[in-house]
Structure 1
Amino acid sequence: MTVTEEKKKQVYHSCASCDRDTWHSVVQYHVESEYEYRMDTIYQIVQCCGCHAVSFRRVVRDYESAYPIDDNEWDVPEDITCFPSILKGHRELEDVWDLPDTVREIYTQSIKAIKDNSNILAGIGLRATIEAICNDRGITGRTLDKRIDALARGGLISQKDSERLHAIRFLGNDSAHEIKKADARNLLIALRIIDHLLVNIYILDGEADRRLETIVRTFEQFTTLLEKSLSSFTSGDEVPLAKIFGRDMRRFHGYFAAHEKSLVDTITNGASTKLKIGKVDHFAGSKDKVQHFVVL
């Protein structure tokens, strides 16, 4: 087959963007042949006919190992390597850059190890990803099993999630201490568990905070919302926080009293440039008197 004929070919090839096998057009083609041992190595640049993503494909055809499948037809074994590597059955996280640097680095290296069939390193890497998450979240403990339990106690994961993470801990321990190669299917399951963990702890939180009215738990979140809410008030206005926040009061969910106290302490210490302490009085027919604040 000539180069021109080969370039007109289409091949059924894994597409990283489509996350499945699709037809690809051969854009460029080069072949290297060995004659002492009859074998061709074919290098192809291919383009997905669906999403048009471009990838590289190496095909090694071993003619010495060919065998007949019909009277006039032989099957030639092929060994195919793709770049970028494809991990079938797994769609990589789109928002991976939302992860902390260390967590992202270990996670992506673990995926690369799985793609490269470096299953021992992959098992260690997935276990290390859990360690990195614990470090990032300030979860302490002498051993990883204690830290996983602490993740559950702290409400970052469910009890069922912690049981799954322990399974990954076992897998990683076997890889690290017994130099045991993890089964590829088990690694894929473990990777899906890690994906779920990363999405829940990092990615969904970020998306929810940007787009949804989430619960305001921390004082930092409180002050951010306060500054935003104060934009509709003018200097000299004396109002309670309920007036400042309006419908956003529902977002405090039991944290309001603690946040208001922290705000009073901040103002008293001279660290606030937005508000000062005002009167304590009734507001809008309230049964009890409430603390007012003066907008600066």
Structure 2
Amino acid sequence: MEELKERVYCSRCKGKTKHLIITSYKEHSDIDSDFHWHDNYHVAQCAGCDNKSFVRQYGDEDTWEYIKGEREWKDIFTVYPEEPKEETDEERWKRKFELLYFMPPKSFRHVPQNLNNLYNQTINAYNSQQNILCAAGLRTIIEGICNELNIKKGHIYDKEGSKKLNEKNKEIYTENLAGRIFGLYENGHIIFTHALLLQKIKNIGNSAVHDIVEPSIETLQQTIEIIDTILYNIYELDKHDLLNE
């Protein structure tokens, strides 16, 4: 059997090997054409393992390269199954992200539309690996929840649950976001542990917005899970279908 002029990839040998032509179908330009080309299709057999492949052999007036200072026409060989492409670092990270970190947005039926839009945009930023924008979005969701529930102020607590005091030994009652988060707790919308977690998410968002500190993908994944839980508990849980049965 005639041998292919170039080694091509063998899917069984996992490398480029000599191939023998079993049968061919050939096309070419007319001899009087302005542009000359040929296009050959081969069923070929690996000379090492006898694995069969389909090979296209194409050449024309432009398929040439310089070899030792001389122009040499070379055919282009394309084999099927194709040789697997080596993954780039970016492709490897994309595959890892999709396997370990990708998070589709949750579907909420009762979250207000403006909050739901903000939530979806924040998740899109996360899945696009725009970590700073995602962190800013998560902080804004917290503020949006406070606005929607009309929580304007709240006391400041330590992690043991005691109200903090100012320098005048008075309880701190404030309109800033830290106070409003604890206001959600004081008004029965969230439990104390969730209030502490929202304070952490607020701080992550502040660092992203004000100091351009990019949180890790693992941190964002955890914070999104917390936001998902809080949105569900506030807006969905008391409207659960089981309560209507």
Q: TM-score, normalised by structure 2?
A: 0.51
Letter in 2 for 1:117: Q
What is the aligned partner in structure 2 of residue 28 from structure 1? none
Deviations 1:58-110 (A, max 9, x none): xxxxxxxxxxxxxxx9871245469xx8883645323x242101111111111
Q: What's the Cα RMSD here? A: 2.8
Letter in 1 for 2:224: L
Aligned counterpart for 2:176 among listed residues 124, 143, 168: 143
Aligned counterpart for 1:190 among listed residues 220, 223, 233: 223
Aligned counterpart for 1:102 among listed residues 100, 105, 114: 114
What is the aligned partner in structure 2 of residue 289 from structure 1? none
1:118 paired with 2:130, answer yes
Structure 2 runs not aligned, ≥5 long: 1-62, 64-82, 154-174
CA distance in 2, matches of 1:87, 1:129: 24
Contact 2:105 2:120 in 1 (8 A): no
Structure 1 residues 198-213: aligned runs within 5 Å: 198-207=231-240, 210-212=241-243
Letter in 2 for 1:212: L
Q: Report the CA distance shift for 1:76/1:202 in structure 2 as closer, same or farther (over 3 A).
A: same
Deviations 1:2-27 (A, max 9, x none): xxxxxxxxxxxxxxxxxxxxxxxxxx
Structure 1 runs not aligned, ≥5 long: 1-34, 36-72, 215-296
CA distance in 2, matches of 1:140, 1:147: 6
Query: Paired residues, what number?
Result: 138
CA distance in 2, matches of 1:106, 1:206: 22
CA distance in 2, matches of 1:93, 1:196: 10
1:77 paired with 2:76, answer no
Q: TM-score, normalised by structure 1?
A: 0.42
What is the aligned partner in structure 2 of residue 128 from structure 1? 140
Q: CA deviation at 1:171?
A: 0.2
CA distance in 2, matches of 1:88, 1:185: 8
Contact 2:101 2:221 in 1 (8 A): no
Q: CA deviation at 1:204?
A: 1.3
1:160 paired with 2:172, answer no
Deviations 1:12-55 (A, max 9, x none): xxxxxxxxxxxxxxxxxxxxxxx9xxxxxxxxxxxxxxxxxxxx
Q: Report the CA distance shift for 1:116/1:87 in structure 2 as closer, same or farther (over 3 A).
A: farther
Letter in 1 for 2:213: K
Structure 1 residues 213-232: aligned runs within 5 Å: none
Contact 1:97 1:104 in 2 (8 A): no
CA distance in 2, matches of 1:87, 1:199: 23
Contact 1:86 1:115 in 2 (8 A): no
Q: CA deviation at 1:212?
A: 1.3
Contact 2:208 2:215 in 1 (8 A): yes
Letter in 2 for 1:135: N
The structure in which a higher percent of residues are helix is: 1
Larger radius of gyration: 2
Q: What fraction of aligned residue pairs are identical, expressed as a percent?
A: 30
CA distance in 2, matches of 1:89, 1:115: 6
CA distance in 2, matches of 1:131, 1:109: 15
Q: Report the CA distance shift for 1:121/1:197 in structure 2 as closer, same or farther (over 3 A).
A: same
CA distance in 1, matches of 2:202, 2:185: 15
Q: CA deviation at 1:195?
A: 0.3
SS of corresponding position for 2:195: helix
